[in-house]
Copies of this chain bind each other. A is one copy, B any other.
Amino acid sequence: MSSQNKEKDPFAAELYFSRLRQPEKERILAMSPREFRSIVRTGEWSSVTKDVCHGYVMTNLAIVPEDIAFEFLQFCNQNPRPLPVLEVTAPGRPYPKILAKDADLRTDLPRYRVFKDGEVIDEPTDIMNYWRDDLVCFLFGCSLTFCHAFREANVPYRRYGEWLTNIACVPTEHLRGHIIASVRGFYSIEDAVRAIQISSRFTRAHGGPLHFGRASDMHEIGIDNFLETFCKSDPISPIRLPDTTPPKPDEIIMTWGAGPTPQQVARESKLPFMITHLAGHMFITDLRVEEIAAL
């Protein structure tokens, strides 16, 4: 499967955070988005972002040339579950206007992925060398937003990583791709219903789930090897999975559209050029999670 890129050291990023001393962890959790972006910009932080800036909205990133930008935006709009657009910049402008002040999308994410003709050619910590005057940046809501809301609502869950599904996005003339989904487990029907209610409030961060069932039902969305491989490593993203025991038979397994979907679109559409963030290395906005809730 072309999406199962082997990372050189898939666990390095999360280990980096786990090795930090406790006061340092707390400092990063409590950091303002502006301050955090500044330590990313200077290169002091090039790791995953899941434990930074507690309670702020993080976003996924995709950058395409102006000549495909309209069609890509149209593609996103007709596939809002995997591709919930929060902001689009003007061509040649790497500066968001709505989500953050004084940010530069060329330097303010810890790590990027550069695609040429649908293949990864580089994973730099900034994209100054790749920037062009015809590039348009797309920022997407991310599932860590509703995961924050799960925790606030005391709904426990387990993370089972991100997976390529057999659910096809509604295509446009030049763009197609299957949805990459994030997978989580819930201990009871009650928790699962609550998770559907909570995530549905975040229509701009993937919204409600695409599928739910038992672990043995995952083949329904094209994940045939879920029980065999879930605990080894995340096939899509370099984020280490903390849960290494298999899901229980009665656990409710739920999947949502996820941020690496644009990468799958780049691959399947063989896009001449696209830049994304490296999964897990997201852009931190100035907005609080509840600011983007639909309800």
Interface residues, chain A, CB within 8 Å of chain B?
66, 69-71, 73-74, 77-78, 85, 87-88, 90, 97-98, 170, 172-173, 197, 200-201, 203, 207, 294-295
The one of B66, B71, B200 in contact with A295, judged by C-beta atoms closer than 8 angstroms, is B200
20 new A-B pairs (CB below 8 Å) besides A70-B73, A90-B173, A203-B203? A66-B70, A69-B70, A71-B90, A73-B73, A73-B74, A73-B77, A74-B90, A77-B85, A77-B88, A78-B87, A78-B88, A90-B172, A97-B170, A98-B170, A197-B295, A200-B294, A200-B295, A203-B294, A207-B294, A294-B294
Please, which residues of chain B bring their CB within 8 A of the CB of A71?
90
Taking the closest CB of chain B, its distance from the CB of A80, in whole angstroms, is 9
Decide if the interface of chain A is mainly helix, strand, loop or mixed.
mixed
Q: How far is the CA of A170 from the CA of B87 in the complex (A)?
A: 12
Q: List 8 A-B contacts (CB under 8 A).
A: A69-B70, A70-B73, A74-B88, A74-B90, A77-B77, A98-B170, A201-B295, A295-B295
Taking the closest CB of chain B, its distance from the CB of A96, in whole angstroms, is 11
Q: How far is the CA of A100 from the CA of B200 in the complex (A)?
A: 25
Q: How far is the CA of A230 from the CA of B259 in the complex (A)?
A: 47
Q: How far is the CA of A73 from the CA of B172 in the complex (A)?
A: 15
Q: How far is the CA of A22 from the CA of B81 in the complex (A)?
A: 43
Q: How far is the CA of A90 from the CA of B295 in the complex (A)?
A: 32
Taking the closest CB of chain B, its distance from the CB of A93, in whole angstroms, is 9
Q: How far is the CA of A227 from the CA of B197 in the complex (A)?
A: 41
Q: How far is the CA of A85 from the CA of B91 in the complex (A)?
A: 21
Q: How far is the CA of A175 from the CA of B249 in the complex (A)?
A: 55
Please, which residues of chain B bring their CB within 8 A of the CB of A200?
294-295
Please, which residues of chain B bring their CB within 8 A of the CB of A70?
66, 69-70, 73
Taking the closest CB of chain B, its distance from the CB of A74, in whole angstroms, is 5
Taking the closest CB of chain B, its distance from the CB of A92, in whole angstroms, is 11
